[in-house]
């Protein structure tokens, strides 16, 4: 799944976000779907690091809201994200 594309789709009707914000959001979405670790690649305290972390927070909130919408069913929340990304593969 292209997580940056998914992020762009989720943010399409909002003001433009910085690349580090988008990367942070994509990293957390990848974590929630593929369970990969999230590592901030930017220098701590830099504006890029702050933007990355804000993107992470946004993605955590988005996924939490999807879980609520899906009645707590993680696989259903992931399926919603896959449809948004144009990726219909099912995750067990």
Query: Residue 1: what pLDDT?
Result: 87
Q: Please indicate, yes or no, whether the overall pTM of this predicted structure exceeds 0.75.
A: yes
Token pair 């259903």 in the structure block, residue: 76
Neighbours of 67 (CB within 10 A): 17
Kindly list the domain boundaries of the chain, sorted by start residue: 3-85
- Model confidence pLDDT, tens digit, residues 7-22: 999 999 999 999 999 9
* pLDDT bracket for residue 92 (50, 70, 90): very low
Round to whole Å and give the CA distance between 61 and 22: 14
Q: Is the pLDDT of residue 74 over 90?
A: yes
Neighbours of 80 (CB within 10 A): 14
Mean pLDDT over 40-53 rounds to 98
Query: Residue 86: what pLDDT?
Result: 84
Q: Is the pLDDT of residue 44 over 80?
A: yes
């Amino acid at each position: 799944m292209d997580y940056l594309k998914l992020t762009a789709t989720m943010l399409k009707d909002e003001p433009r976000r910085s690349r580090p914000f988008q990367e942070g959001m994509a990293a957390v979405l990848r974590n929630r779907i593929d369970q990969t670790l999230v590592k901030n690649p930017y220098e701590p305290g830099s504006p890029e690091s702050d933007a990355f972390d804000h993107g992470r927070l946004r993605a955590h909130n988005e996924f939490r809201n999807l879980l609520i919408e899906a009645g707590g069913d993680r696989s259903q929340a992931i399926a919603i994200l896959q449809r948004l990304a144009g990726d219909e593969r099912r995750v067990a």
